[in-house]
Amino acid sequence: MIKRQNLLLKQKGRVNKIRKVILVTGTPGVGKTAVAHKLASKLDAIYVGITELVKTEKLITNVDEERKTLIADTEKVSKKLQETIAQSKGNIIIEGHYATDVTPNKEVTTVFVLRRDPHKLKSVLEKRGYNEKKIWENLAAEILDVCLCDALSACGADKVCEINVSGKTVEAVVEEIIQVLEKKQECRSGTVDWLGKLENEGRLEEFLKKFSSAEQP
């Protein structure tokens, strides 16, 4: 029993030397919540899910009827995150597709941008019952690197690590993130190229047509 406790403490202490504010971002459906929850428990960190935070704290300006989502009051979200960071001494994992827009960037240690193959992402979004417009808007965002670009412009390339989660289990993704935090694996971005992949598969035109028809009112 003592041995097991020691092992757990050792695991949790692996990347705990300096307090970290870690962002987990990416297009809806890539697996941010699943990964961030597990990562927080492994690092003994506080987990903050922005979608949950917006709902529980009612940090809302309006409701987007077409997309059936709440429109967050980003100023209030940002203020709340700043308070949370200021009040806690341990590691914090902040998760959400616009995490880099609302977290004070000077506080951020590392941003993990999760990337998922567009074909796999499409199935996740279809299973959720999203309408065509919402599916193709999100797929366009994934293919055009929207979350990656947001992360790079908010926090700079040194802090941004892209993780391709396609075909990996949640556990494997979390382990990869820990390897990066422990500097056993390089933190890199610009490694994922879905446009190139679709072009090689001869499916780029099909996707681009879907994007433009989803944009029609």
Ligand X SMILES: Nc1ncnc2c1ncn2[C@@H]1O[C@H](COP(=O)(O)OP(=O)(O)OP(=O)(O)O)[C@@H](O)[C@H]1O
Which of 22, 23, 31, 42 contacts ligand X by CB under 6 A? 31
Q: Does 108 bind ligand X (CB under 6 A)?
A: no
Which residue in 97, 115, 122, 134 binds ligand X (CB under 6 A)?
Answer: 97
For residue 118, state whether it binds ligand X (rule: CB under 6 A): no
Segment interacting with ligand X (CB under 6 A) among 8-16, 30-38, 39-47, 205-213: 30-38
Using CB under 6 A, which of 169, 179, 191, 213 touches ligand X? 169
Q: Does 173 bind ligand X (CB under 6 A)?
A: yes
Least Å from the CB of residue 134 to ligand X: 10
Size of the site for Mg ion (CB under 5 A): 1
**Contacts by 147-153, CB closer than 8 A, 24 or more apart:** 147/25, 147/26, 147/27, 147/97, 147/100, 147/113, 148/113, 148/115, 148/189, 148/192, 150/25, 150/98, 150/100, 150/101, 151/23, 151/25, 151/100, 151/111, 151/113, 151/189, 152/189
Position 166 contacts Mg ion (CB under 5 A): no
- Name the residue among 148, 145, 151 with its Cα closest to residue 105: 151
Residues that contact ligand X, how many (by CB under 6 A): 16
The pattern of x and - marking residues 33 through 52 that bind Mg ion according to CB under 5 A reads: x-------------------
Per CB under 6 A, does 124 bind ligand X?
yes
- Binding ligand X (rule: CB under 6 A), the pick from 170, 195, 204, 208 is 170
Binding residues (CB under 5 A) for Mg ion: these are 33
